[in-house]
Structure 1
Amino acid sequence: MNAALPTSSAPRDGASLSVNALAQPLVQRLLASADSLKLTVQRDACGACVVDAGIAAPGSVAAGLAVAAVCMGGLGQVRLRASPEQGWPTWLEVSSSQPVLACLASQYAGWSLSASKEESGGKKFFSLGSGPARALAAKEELFGELGYRDRADSGCLVLEVDRPPPAVVVEKVLRDCGLRAEELTLILTPTTSLAGTTQVVARVLEVALHKAHQLGFALEHIVGGCASAPLPAPSPDGITAMGRTNDAILYGGRVQLTVRGDDDAARRLAQQLPSINSADHGRSFADIFREVDFDFYKIDGALFAPAEVWVSNVDSGNTWHAGRLDMALLAKLWLGEA
């Protein structure tokens, strides 16, 4: 069965779409191209399909693009573009005509998965799951707000980790998603890898959707979105790698949201959305993260946003623009002396 079910009395646009069914052909294509994408694929002890996209396998930027498309539940387009005239040679472009489902119901890393030392055999495990299988479990309050829950015969979950999940975590995912082991694909993408860096930067549109949600903008009024961000080289240091992916969006991310409804609401969204509204704007994310003792919750929430935003209201034909790129800061952070 492949069907998405509305979880409220008011069905939303796209509620009949199954992000897992739409993503499945992309998952199969990724598995079939594992060698060319520099991935390894195997079955774990539970019987689930596990794709190594950067732990022991080298992975690739192309793999990251494929993983990002899977993460968006088959409802987004992700591509690499060369644009050296903008101050950096490679950029990611992301777009969707179903951005709420693609970004919030699928791509958003919102499913907390953990295991104790005892459960994992010696070392604690924690990861935030992203991708379409989130919508099968629907464990987050967000799904109630979206009025969406998926039903499908297979699922795919992406974990930003540097080691495979323990059996207890895989079993939880299977149980919560209502899947048999052979129906689940887990893709592992450490941020220190090429694929990991790529798939995180490809969340530039999702970051804008998440911020719009936090600002209280009516999600049903967001009808389209496109975005771009520069793609940095990964770093072997985990904090530096995470800092680069965040900085790519905070200082190099550009987003256009297409909305409907009230002009005042659209104007406020454009004004409030960019990262420049944060008091921490202008500093590297890695430095900020270290200063708060690696506690995300101590960072000003206004910082988690794209650098530059356009909001276009199709009901009125008006567009508003706010924010700006800071490519000079990115060059300082990312470029060494030749």
Structure 2
Amino acid sequence: MTEQIGVSINFTAKPLVESLVRDAALLRLKVERLDNGVTLVDAGIEADGGLEAGRRIAEICMGGMGTVTLAHSALTPGWPLRVHVHATDPVLSCLGSQYAGWSLSHGKGKEAFYALGSGPARSMCVKEALFKELDYKDKADATVLVLEVDKYPPLELLDKIAADCGIQPAGLTVIVTPTSSLAGGLQVVARVLEVAMHKAHELGFPLEHIVDGSGSAPVPPPAPDFITAMGRTNDAILFAGQVHLFVKGEDEAAEKLAHDLPSSTSRDYGKPFAQVFKEYEYDFFKVDPMLFSPASVMVTAIESGRSFRAGRLDEELLARSFGA
């Protein structure tokens, strides 16, 4: 693999991490330097966190190569607050950084800790086969990893993460964002563009043909239990997420991508995700992987200037999920 192709996502993310830590009190975060030197940022376990914290964390997840904003929109008048995402390089930003693809575990039984890591640190450990396709490996003295968990990771696991990234523990920052928190819910929904990129990859669309992209989705209300909270973050994208991709290549390929991308093409579409998950006895592997995608998609073929649209927003299903 080539190190630091064009840009280092750890370099571009570093000032965002420093700003997050510096503004911890303003953002209602808890920052702690652990015994092994790792910096732990709590955005919703023992700290309150909030929407602005989640917005900044989402930009960190994107490796500093994307913008995340909050605004009210008429797209979903019943739930107008939406998160808007744009990536300057959607392939590297979304798949090379934001995607939660690093599987982590430590211990057994009741004391076991499991998590999926996202953020720039993934590009330094490159444990996922995806990085061979991206032909990308980053190198830096410091990195950051985001974990969507409701308890703190053990020191032994943090030591291993640092070692896998080739840095000292003092160079590692770990941000924890439980799904049930405001910050956690927002940073998950800010993956609306990333899930479109991931599904495009699963559909076999050439990643090198994706030039630019943006997306938006409503910010879900928090929920006290994980299943409801997780269901709402998924439904925000499945029922009301909107993505626009700009691609190279033939019109026919762009049109097919637009047709195949929306969540409504999945056999499991039509019910709140928490209900689907329960019916599958809480087994993610039984859920149709093609479900995880935005509700509405537009794909523009930049060489011909033609655009293709498919899917639609469903406020009724969104309201059922959000309890509105």
TM-score computed with the length of structure 1 as normaliser:
0.93
Q: Could you report, residue by residue, the CA deviation over 1:49-96 in whole angstroms, capped at 9, with x for unpaired residues?
A: 000000000100100000000000000000000125632120000001
Counterpart Cα distance in 1 of 2:133 and 2:321: 38
Displacement after TM superposition at 1:45 (Å): 2.4
SS state of the match for residue 233, structure 2? helix
Pair 1:111 & 2:102 matched: yes
**Matched-pair contact (CA < 8 Å) for 2:106–2:112:** yes
Counterpart Cα distance in 2 of 1:128 and 1:17: 24
**Counterpart of 2:92?**
101
**Counterpart of 1:10?**
none
1:115-154 equivalence runs, <5 A: 115-117=106-108, 123-154=111-142
**Counterpart of 2:149?**
161
Pair 1:182 & 2:178 matched: no
Match of 1:259 among 225, 239, 247: 247
Match of 2:219 among 217, 224, 231: 231
**Matched-pair contact (CA < 8 Å) for 1:84–1:90:** no
**Matched-pair contact (CA < 8 Å) for 2:231–2:321:** no
Pair 1:51 & 2:41 matched: yes
> Identity across aligned pairs (percent)?
53
Counterpart Cα distance in 2 of 1:333 and 1:138: 36
**Counterpart of 1:76?**
66
Displacement after TM superposition at 1:189 (Å): 0.2
**Counterpart of 2:32?**
42
**Counterpart of 2:269?**
281
Counterpart Cα distance in 1 of 2:150 and 2:74: 32
Counterpart Cα distance in 1 of 2:202 and 2:73: 32
Equivalences, count: 323
Displacement after TM superposition at 1:48 (Å): 0.2
Question: Greater shift after overlay, 291-300 or 239-248?
Answer: 291-300
SS state of the match for residue 165, structure 1? coil
**Counterpart of 1:170?**
158
Please tell me the residue identity of whatever aligns with 1:61: L
Pair 1:192 & 2:151 matched: no
Displacement after TM superposition at 1:6 (Å): 2.3
**Counterpart of 1:11?**
none
Q: Structure 1: 5+ residue runs without aligned partners?
A: 8-13
SS state of the match for residue 281, structure 2? coil
Match of 2:258 among 254, 260, 270: 270
SS state of the match for residue 151, structure 1? coil
Please tell me the residue identity of whatever aligns with 1:24: K
Displacement after TM superposition at 1:325 (Å): 0.5
Q: Could you report, residue by residue, the CA deviation over 1:110-149 in whole angstroms, capped at 9, with x for unpaired residues?
A: 000001238xxx6110000000110010000000011111
**Matched-pair contact (CA < 8 Å) for 1:104–1:209:** yes
Counterpart Cα distance in 2 of 1:31 and 1:130: 18
Q: Structure 2: 5+ residue runs without aligned partners?
A: none
SS state of the match for residue 6, structure 2? coil
Question: Greater shift after overlay, 246-255 or 174-183?
Answer: 174-183
**Counterpart of 1:67?**
57
Displacement after TM superposition at 1:318 (Å): 1.0
Question: Greater shift after overlay, 257-266 or 206-215?
Answer: 257-266
Match of 1:91 among 74, 78, 82: 82
Counterpart Cα distance in 1 of 2:157 and 2:305: 48
Displacement after TM superposition at 1:305 (Å): 0.7
**Counterpart of 1:32?**
22
**Counterpart of 2:301?**
313
Q: Could you report, residue by residue, the CA deviation over 1:131-178 in whole angstroms, capped at 9, with x for unpaired residues?
A: 011001000000001111111121000001111111221011011101
